[in-house]
Structure 1
Amino acid sequence: MAPTPYTVSRTTEIAAPADAVFGLVADFHRWTAWSPWERNDPDVERTYGGPDTGEGATYGWRGNRKAGAGTMTITEADRPGRVAIDLRFEKPFSSESTVVFTIVETESTTTVGWTMAGHSTGFAKLFAMVVPMDKLIGKDFERGLLALKEQAESGS
């Protein structure tokens, strides 16, 4: 069975400078304040590696069934406009995706885009036939962008 490609993408407008948004995205230590998945398992085990922020920074997690387990590595951090991440899930199923945040400042706001793209294979492909990836995590992206907006606009 051939892999099935997927893309999930959401955007929002944030009334804060692009650099402030970039700082929240390019530092995995700061994801606990806005990531929609951080509240899924309060006992999740986190590990950080590489530099504190930017290219080469890593974040690993291991939690309950809902949180699963996996790693993220920042592969590109182009201040203030783009952060690319290699995302690898180990549990509840194995998968690899590319995550890209685009951050574009205009006169009055900053437009933030959050996109995840990859291929569903094996169990994930079968599951995606019932629940498409956009339906599965699109609402999480929306909640995460809302929390990112609140953090950036509050100056946290």
Structure 2
Amino acid sequence: MNILFIILAIIAAIVVLLLLAAAFAKSDYAVEREITINKPVAQVFGYVRNLKNMDNYNKWVMVDPMMQKDYKGEDGTEGFAYAWDSDNKAGRGEQVIKKIENGKRIDIQITFVKPFAGVSDSYIITEPAIDNSTLVKWGFASKMPYPMNAILLFMDMGEMLGKDLVISLQNLKQIIEKQP
């Protein structure tokens, strides 16, 4: 009986410590990666503004080629929605173009339904670089509610999401640089 009580007390202490740590831990995170593409801004932005093109370069979209997709509105315009549903790692959610600064920036709100509910703001920025090339920055910002934010004490979202952003940006570079 004493051993069971000790085990339960240890488990309770761990839970209390995690809840206390979560109370003082940050709840938001931001991740950004960039790449230079050897094509002009107009060409690069013309491609990334269309969310359907993410099928060709976005690592997260490419994990399940069989996922169901639904589109609302005109791609490449504010208000366009791209919803997905997958039994695979991609889960279910929707991304909506919130704002477009033509040739410069596209802001996207992503709502995740499964495997975890959440909202993330994403953006893609294109800037002129040397030799008529384009610097592309892709970023995410989100918050985790208490007590789920305790995960941020143990996970480096910059490293985890950053790796996938780098792969996606490399895919984008290969696609666009092959275009005439």
TM-score (norm 1): 0.91
**C-alpha distance in structure 1 between counterparts of 2:146 and 2:179, whole Å:** 43
Query: What residue ranges of structure 1 are gaps of 5+ in the alignment?
Result: none
Shifted more, 31-40 versus 66-75: the winner is 31-40
- Asked whether 1:112 is paired with 2:152, we answer no
The residue correspondences of 1:3-152 to structure 2 (distance < 5 A) are: 4-108=27-131, 109-122=133-146, 124-152=148-176
CA RMSD of aligned residues (A): 1.8
The 3-state SS of whatever aligns with 2:79 is coil
Larger radius of gyration: 2
- Equivalenced residue count is 156
Identity fraction in percent = 28
Q: Is the CA contact (8 Å cut-off) linking 2:34 and 2:169 kept in structure 1? A: yes
TM-score for both structures, normalised by structure 2: 0.80
| Runs of at least 5 residues in structure 2 that lack an aligned partner in the other structure | 1-21
After the TM superposition, which segments of 4 or more aligned residues of structure 1 sit over 6 Å from their partners? none
Q: Does the residue aligned with 1:38 lie in a helix, a strand or coil?
A: helix
Shift of residue 144 of structure 1? 0.5
1:85 is aligned with what amino acid? I
Question: 1:1-28: per-residue Cα shift (whole Å, max 9, x none)?
Answer: 5660100110110001111211221111
In terms of fraction of residues, the more helix-rich structure is 2
